[in-house]
Amino acid sequence: MAKVIGIMGESGSGKTTSMRNLNPEETFYIDCDKKGLSWKGWREQYQFEKHNYMATDQISTVSNILNKISTQENMRHIKTVIIDTLNGLMVADEVRRMKEKGYDKWQDLAQCVWELLDSLYTLRNDLTVIVLCHSQTQKEDDGYTFTRIKTSGKKLDKLNVESKLTTVLYAVAKEDGYVFITHAHNSTAKTPMGAFEADEIPNDIVKVLKALEEY
């Protein structure tokens, strides 16, 4: 069973940048937004020709990539896979089917996303999959706010994407830098009990992976 980590946050909150210290020799980056990465030198680290980078917003293509990484002997060196972002996949599917009428397309989207997330846990045991997601903050009439993973369509809202993830970090840009929120704070941020004592930790996925491995 692979390990699966979710990271949510607004655009510009440091989700992609937090991947900067991963070893590109052991990492495969799936760029679903097809906008490139956000640190200097990434083009030398991640390339299609190096077999560690793919830009695609097709859910079926992402599933095929994950299956190859998990099963093919020549991909055994890959230990970490990033899906950046889940929303890129959802929005692309929504736009492609924009002219379709009816509820079926939303049911199809929810099923595809749910099956993708469910399949992550069937990948080989030494893999870690990091799913980056945009966040949405809802404000009630009484002023109460709550932040969760942003989804496309009410069906996915009801299915609750976070329920498929044991770890959800909330990326936040503060005046003095970027951090991960590890526990609720009016959000769906969550981590295994005792894995992180601090409510805020540095925006560095390598440190997160080390802490979870030691846990």
The three-class DSSP label of residue 62 is helix
CA-to-CA dists, residue 176 to 83, 109, 194, 202, 206, angstroms: 27, 39, 26, 11, 20
Does position 215 have pLDDT exceeding 90, yes or no? no
Predicted confidence (pLDDT) at residue 99 exceeds the cutoff of 80: no
Residue 138 CB: number of other CB atoms within 10 A? 10
Query: pLDDT at residue 178 above 70?
Result: yes
Q: What is the pTM of this model?
A: 0.94
- Give the residue ranges of DSSP H helices in the chain: 42-45, 59-71, 86-96, 104-120, 154-159, 205-214
Confidence of residue 17 (pLDDT cuts 50, 70, 90): very high
What is the pLDDT, as a whole number, of residue 121? 96
Q: Flag the least confident range among 16-25, 141-150, 170-179, 189-198.
A: 141-150
The pLDDT of 135-160, averaged and rounded, is 83
* Confidence at residue 103, expressed as pLDDT on a 0 to 100 scale: 66
Q: Which CATH architecture has domain 3-214?
A: 3-Layer(aba) Sandwich (3.40)
* Helices (H) then strands (E): counts for the chain: 6, 9
Q: 188: closest CA among 209, 163, 205?
A: 163
